[in-house]
Chain A
Amino acid sequence: MTLNKSLLIPLVVFILLILLLALGFTLKDPHFLPSELIDKPFPEFSLSDLYSAKTRTREDVIGDIVLVNVWATWCPNCLIEHPELTRIAAHEGVTLVGVNYNDESAKARNWLRRHGDPYSFHIVDNDGRLAIDLGVYGAPETFVVDQQGVIRYRHVGPVTRDVWQRTLAPVIDLLGSGA
């Protein structure tokens, strides 16, 4: 009997598919940071503020070392990281800026009323335009932006105490001492 090789096609396709999924998996897992965003200036934007009629632009982010946190009310992990962000803002002396991503402003305000608002201000990004410029995968993501408005670090996923101690704090210390 001659071997009908075409019957192997489904298996080969499946293996390729699995490789892709596995690859996607390893990429996603360690909250890696794509290199090209690092050391690029924070993108230009002009969006409204969550509480006032004020327009927020890139100028508002520049000046101090800032943690820009992309969050949304529909994102369970944002709630998980919220206590740690609150602690960082209160005790570590770091300015926290929120990007409210693909959300409804009323929901966002309610969420903040309930859970507390440690942020200096929030940029309303309902269409996700700023998030696209930032290359956001999904909420939450946190960017370290330096005094010149350059993105220096990017963390995908919730900011836990561990993440703060191991990565964010050292990065911020380094930026603070170098400046």
Chain B
Amino acid sequence: MIAELGHFSLILALGISFCLMVLPSWGVYSRNLTLMHTGGSMAAGLFVFLLTSFLCLGYAFITDDFSVSYVARNSNTALPVAYKISAVWGAHEGSFLLWTLVLGTWTFAVALFSRDLTVDMRARVLSVLGVLAVGFILFLLLTSNPFDRSLPVYPTEGSDLNPLLQDFGLIVHPPMLYVGYVGFAVPFAFAIATLWSGRLDTAWARWSRPWTNIAWAFLTLGITLGSWWAYYELGWGGWWFWDAVENASFMPWLIGTALVHSLASTEKRGVFKSWTVLLAIAAFSLSLLGGFLVRSGVLTSVHAFAQDPERGLYILVFLVLVIGSSLTLYAVRAQGIKSNALFTWSSREALILVNNLLLAVATGAVLLGTLYPLAYEAFTGGDKISVGPPYFASVFVPIVMVLFAFMAISTRSRWKDTSAGFSPRRQAVYFAAAVAIVSLLSALLATLVFPVILVTSIALWITINLADDVLTRLRNKRAKLRALVSQPLSYYGMLFGHLGIVVSMIGVCCTVYFSTEKDVRMLPGEVVSLGGYEFEFHRMKKVQGPNYVADQGEIKVSRDGEPVTTLFPEKRLYTASQSVMTEADMDPGFFRDLYVALGEPVGESAWAVRVHVKPFVRWIWFGGLLVALGGILAVLDKRYRLSRRTSESVVGASVV
């Protein structure tokens, strides 16, 4: 019954989304205020029915309703409850229902929090979101219905959630990622609404900024979590693989980063209007493209999502309709837009332009690398080739290095013209100081590696500039501490965002160059030393988990005879699916991770053991968290709250 209720809710949601698509835009067309106002209640209804549908699927999982084939394929009575809940989005159908629910939530949020928009703008934005909702829900109902029953014969036991996904990281990673992906639908809807209305002014930039920031912050969080999960769960100590699916999330992030910056210039200075609109369209298009690549089976990926040509075809048609019409609208409506604001080569505008171009080129490089195997295959008919990390390292890294160098200067830039407060000589001194400090440190630690010195120096250079900027702001204030606290939150957002990138930069670079690892065959009692640590393979024992049995190793780690920690890596056999999983164990630390994973049993009591020492690896994710925090701080800035409060009373009743 409950599954049918969920299915029915989904159908109702389709009806409502159809009304949301049609009614407000009809209102705009016929200048009918009542129709324009329907958007709010439609958005609320859409959200409620999508949520109901989602909860019904959750209920089917918790109550082990294996007559629902999606549940039977992805759950099991022995599965812990937390994983039963996360199993809802553990495979294609459910995860797309979550994706659609997230769109419904964003739509509802837009209806709630954008009452300072003019009535017609709000109607346009909501109906654009309605178009997307129709597309997504139709996709679910036509090709991927999670509520399909397998009656009358159904299994008494499910076949279990993929053990890789039975993990805390996978409970939170997809929702975060989707909030980010789908969140870009909001600036997209604003951009389309603006083009549609023909009033391509700076107001849309002000409206879109908080939405873009928050979507971008969540996407940052999602990617960071994904990377962290890959590191501790996949058991080979890697944290980024340039896999097609990872790239699919990374491209919208890169363009989103460009968008966050260019929206600022459009809002503050009225420049790059049409470019910013294009970025907003591009960010969401790349999110959709990512969805296509992951779910259509056009590219083979280690993520191996449910692949079905019918689904791929549907998404392809949807891409053509949505993105094709958006870009056509853009080509027609962005004609004749000119910004008359002037700026010099050293102004913040110019630097943001550089940032945007570099990020766009970087995105292009990633896109090329992701699609190249496909293009090669299509045009030559030849063998499948794979574009691996070497391509990305040699193309992506130089672009990003130039970007970082500009980042150091850009924090000191000012709108319109920077020359007054900017001194190239001082920058030279800062950079020289950074290089000197880093070189000295490296020499002391006896690790002179040129790329590390370069990256770390730039990182330090950026940090010096950020600190200098803070000090400049406080220079003429008497109460320094109060002045520090009273800086706008968006300023802190900027600081944390850039600091986060610095931290990640150092983390990535040091991990890449200083990590050491060994694959060894070990008998109980044997010791292997690596990176100054001794790893003693103490013993093996059997462990029983809720839905698995495991061989657990006990590895004692010591340094110069002093015990550091004991690690318990496992080799698990999940009983329902009979799949074997490597559960690595690690000792996390601020400056280094010790990481141990079990390989195969070799011989009587010997095991293949993989040990890693990974310096600074935590910094990668810590930096990601800082960046996300920066994005969220910027949204919380007073500016956006004020404009909301003043308008709340005006249209307060329209949603009900």
Q: Within the assembled complex, what's the spacing in Å between the Cα atoms of A10 and B285?
A: 11
Per the 8 Å Cβ criterion, residues 352-377 of B in contact with A are 371, 374-375, 377
User: Do B579 and A29 touch (CB < 8 A)?
Assistant: no
Chain B residues with Cβ under 8 A from A25's Cβ? 296, 298, 309, 312-313, 316
User: Do B330 and A21 touch (CB < 8 A)?
Assistant: no
Which partner residue on chain B sits nearest A134 by CB separation?
Answer: B383
User: Do B382 and A34 touch (CB < 8 A)?
Assistant: yes
Per the 8 Å Cβ criterion, residues 2-37 of A in contact with B are 3-4, 7-8, 10-11, 14-15, 17-18, 20-25, 27-29, 34-36
User: Do B578 and A20 touch (CB < 8 A)?
Assistant: no
- Is B378's CB within 8 Å of the partner chain A? yes
Shortest C-beta distance, A163 to chain B (Å), equals 16
User: Do A1 and B600 touch (CB < 8 A)?
Assistant: no
Interface size, B (range): 35 or more
Task: Indicate which residue in B300, B328, B371 contacts A20 across the interface (CB closer than 8 Å).
Answer: B371
- Is A63's CB within 8 Å of the partner chain B? no
Shortest C-beta distance, B182 to chain A (Å), equals 20
Which partner residue on chain B sits nearest A30 by CB separation?
Answer: B309
User: Do A11 and B378 touch (CB < 8 A)?
Assistant: no
User: Do B298 and A28 touch (CB < 8 A)?
Assistant: yes
User: Do A14 and B381 touch (CB < 8 A)?
Assistant: no
- Is B335's CB within 8 Å of the partner chain A? yes
User: Do B309 and A29 touch (CB < 8 A)?
Assistant: yes
Chain A residues with Cβ under 8 A from B375's Cβ? 20
- Is B433's CB within 8 Å of the partner chain A? no
Q: Within the assembled complex, what's the spacing in Å between the Cα atoms of A135 and B578?
A: 30
User: Do A7 and B304 touch (CB < 8 A)?
Assistant: no
User: Do B378 and A8 touch (CB < 8 A)?
Assistant: no
Q: Mark B312-323, 1 if CB is under 8 A from A, else 0.
A: 110010011001
- Is A104's CB within 8 Å of the partner chain B? yes
Interface majority SS on A: helix, strand, loop or mixed? helix
Q: Mark B363-404, 1 if CB is under 8 A from A, else 0.
A: 000000001001101100111100000000000000000000
- Is B169's CB within 8 Å of the partner chain A? no
Shortest C-beta distance, A31 to chain B (Å), equals 11
- Is A51's CB within 8 Å of the partner chain B? no
Q: Within the assembled complex, what's the spacing in Å between the Cα atoms of A75 and B305?
A: 10
Q: Within the assembled complex, what's the spacing in Å between the Cα atoms of A173 and B211?
A: 64
- Is A176's CB within 8 Å of the partner chain B? no
Which partner residue on chain B sits nearest A37 by CB separation?
Answer: B383
Show the binding face of B for A, using Cβ within 8 Å: 274, 278, 281-282, 285, 289, 292, 296-300, 302, 304, 306, 309, 312-313, 316, 319-320, 323-324, 327-328, 330-331, 334-336, 371, 374-375, 377-378, 381-384, 571, 573, 578-580, 582, 600-601
Show the binding face of A for B, using Cβ within 8 Å: 1, 3-4, 7-8, 10-11, 14-15, 17-18, 20-25, 27-29, 34-36, 73-76, 104-107, 110-111, 113-114, 135-138
- Known A18-B316, A21-B292, A106-B580; 20 more pairs at CB < 8 Å: A10-B278, A11-B328, A14-B324, A14-B327, A18-B319, A18-B324, A20-B371, A20-B375, A24-B298, A24-B299, A24-B374, A25-B316, A74-B302, A106-B600, A107-B579, A110-B573, A110-B578, A110-B580, A111-B578, A113-B578
